[in-house]
Amino acid sequence: MTRYVVVGAGAVGASIAAELHRAGIDTILVARGAHLAALREHGLTYRRPGGEHRLRIPVAGGPGEVELSADDVLLLVTKSQDTAGAVRDWAWRPVKRPDGGTGLAATDLPVVVVQNGLDNERTALRSFALVIGAVVRLPGTFVVPGEVTNHGDPVPAELWLGRHPSGTGAAAERVAADLRRASITVHVVPDVTAYKAGKLLGNLANGLDALYAPTALRTAAAGLLRDEAHRVFAAAGMVPAELDQSGLRHAEIPGSPRGGSSTWQSLARAGDPETDYLNGEIVLLARLHGVPAPANTALQARVHRAFAEGVQPGSLDDSDLAATLPRLGETGVTAHES
């Protein structure tokens, strides 16, 4: 029987682990710090539109507490900046084979990369022979240790997954079948990188969401970032896939409002931003292919400064946004109008 080792216990990782656990699928959730301590002491408080659940999902603090076997599947659900460390920690762990022999996670187990951006699968592929990329839509919130809220409705999440760099395969189909048992909508696709690029277009606004309150100027800024990214993708010869987002909506949960994007939540927890793998990915591609990306470059820098200064989520105003992205004046929307 397959066991899922979910490495990363934030809003996405904990939600997926919770749904697998509720479906009776063997699952272990790997967490750290105060979150790990809370999960061990009280279990996971998991809020959904249909109610609140207290779940005693098996938890571990790292690979040294997990004995891997050939039936395991690793789900990598850390922030992108933690990918290299997680791959290093898990790839070379021993795996007990059915014949009594010992293998390695890198050669014996599939790793499913459930993360934003375009760099994580490549990082995993340096060590793991079988890498499955996954795009996830899951409107979750994780701010308080031991507590995760998932606003997804009518399903908890929607995924597009496939083998990296291309194809599908039996392992991807097996993972998809288990996730569907856990009430998660899954599409198996042969070109998962194109879907990763499509998701990235939306994630470019995460930094805006973290720093600025919703205004017309912020909406215009998101469009500026996406338009710039489309030009960069074209220079790189990449065609992002369009994600059909009609199958999952954000439902209100009384007493548990959704704070914001994952970058907003990182700022609220005084964590590290994932921006270098979102806007920074566009900046990297632009530099590799000799095209400009001034808007994404400027927002990347502004997010890092805000995290260093400890600003409150959503506390910056339109004048700061206009100063950060001077080209917003070309959109016809001004700070005064917003």
What CATH code is carried by the domain that includes residue 278? 1.10.1040.10
Check whether residue 164 and residue 210 sit in a common domain: no
Q: What percent of the chain has pLDDT over 70?
A: 98
Determine the pLDDT at residue 36.
97
Binned at pLDDT 50, 70 and 90, residue 338 comes out as: very low
- 276-308 pLDDT tens trace: 999 999 999 999 999 999 999 999 999 999 999
Residue 154 shares a structural domain with residue 254: no
Q: Total structural domains in the chain? A: 2
pLDDT band at 270 (very low <50, low <70, confident <90, very high): confident
User: In terms of DSSP H, where are the helices of 92-191?
Assistant: 105-108, 120-125, 170-181
Residues 209 and 160 in one domain: no
Query: pLDDT tier at 332 (50, 70, 90 boundaries)?
Result: low
Is the same domain home to 307 and 248? yes
Q: Are residues 37 and 134 in the same domain?
A: yes
* Chain mean pLDDT for the chain: 95
Same domain, residue pair 183 and 235: no
302 is in which domain, residue-wise?
Answer: 195-338
Q: Does 85 score more than 60 pLDDT?
A: yes
Above 80 in pLDDT, residue 215? Answer: yes
Give the end of a domain, one of 167, 190, 213. 190
Which of 163, 190, 217 is the C-terminal boundary of a domain? 190
Residues 182 and 102 in one domain: yes
- What does the pLDDT read at residue 327? 86
Q: For position 258, what pLDDT does the model report?
A: 78
Sheet with 147-150: strands ordered across:
51-55, 44-48, 147-150, 140-141
The whole-number average pLDDT for the span 36-53 is 96
Task: Please give the average per-residue pLDDT across 258-270, as a whole number.
Answer: 86
283 & 310 share domain: yes
| Pairing of β 59-60 and β 27-30 | parallel
Say if residue 334's pLDDT is above 80: no
- Residue 121 clears pLDDT 60, i.e. is over it: yes
pLDDT reported for residue 128: 98
| DSSP code per residue over 202-253 | HHTTHHHHHHB---HHHHHHHHHHHHHHHHHHHHHT--PPPP--TT-EE---
β-sheet bridge partners, residue 152: 250
What digits encode the pLDDT tens for the residues 27-40?
999 999 999 999 99
Q: How many residues does the chain have?
A: 338
Question: In the chain, pLDDT over 90 holds for what percent of residues?
Answer: 89
- Residue 149 maps to which CATH number? 3.40.50.720
Higher pLDDT, 178 or 261: 178
- Residue 56 and residue 96 in one domain: yes
182 and 53 in one domain? yes
Q: pLDDT value at position 269?
A: 86
Domain limit, last residue, from 190, 223, 245: 190
pLDDT band at 337 (very low <50, low <70, confident <90, very high): very low
How far apart are alpha carbons 212 and 210 in whole angstroms? 6
Residues 338 and 215: beta-carbon distance below 8 Å: yes
Are 18 and 142 within one domain?
A: yes
pLDDT, tens digit, 9 for 90 and up, residues 198-207? 999 999 999 9
- Whether residue 251 sits in one domain with residue 165: no
The pLDDT assigned to 335 comes to: 63
